[in-house]
Amino acid sequence: MKNLTIKKITYLSLVIYTISLFNNAILYSDNQGNIHNTSAWMCLGFGWMSIFAGGILETLVWSANVFYFISVAITLISETQKKQLVTILSTISLFLSLSYIFQSIHFEGDNGKFLIVKLDIGYWLWILSIAIVSLVSILDYYTTIRYKNLQNLNNK
């Protein structure tokens, strides 16, 4: 794939990521059965702090953001893309972000653990933005390998 196309798709991913931040990510039920929501902004800003409340999985899921932004930065800044590194980092990011689907408990600061009722649109847009970067990097990496292999065969 051409670098310009990859960069345009990466910018699209950043736009979707930004849109996700303006939506609710998680709906959860408290001990009295009341439904509350957590915005994606809150998840991004404070998700890493869940480790202090015992939310190790939530902290791991939150780290998907770090891998995503490193992948995006390498893609947009590097003229000689490190295709293998971007593929590895973005795939790790995708798997970490998807792992939250299996989470049934939400940590809300000092208030404790609450039952997750629904993963809302903010979460799914976040997944989409990460998936776009991951899939494009995988396609680009493997088409580059295939192209090099064909060149090597033609040179023999």
pLDDT tens digits for 58-92?
788 889 999 999 999 999 988 666 888 999 999 99
Question: Quick one: angle between helices 64-77 and 3-21, nearest 10?
Answer: 140
Question: Considering the chain, what is the average pLDDT of its residues?
Answer: 86
Mutual angle of helices 121-155 and 83-98, in 10-degree steps: 150
Cα(99)–Cα(89) distance, integer angstroms? 15
Please give the structure tokens belonging to residue 105: 């408990």
pTM of the model: 0.85
pLDDT tens per residue, range 131-141: 999 999 999 88
Amino acid 116: pLDDT: 86
Six token digits for residue 150: 């064909």
Asked if pLDDT for residue 2 goes beyond 90, the answer is: no
Q: Between 88 and 114, whose confidence is greater?
A: 88
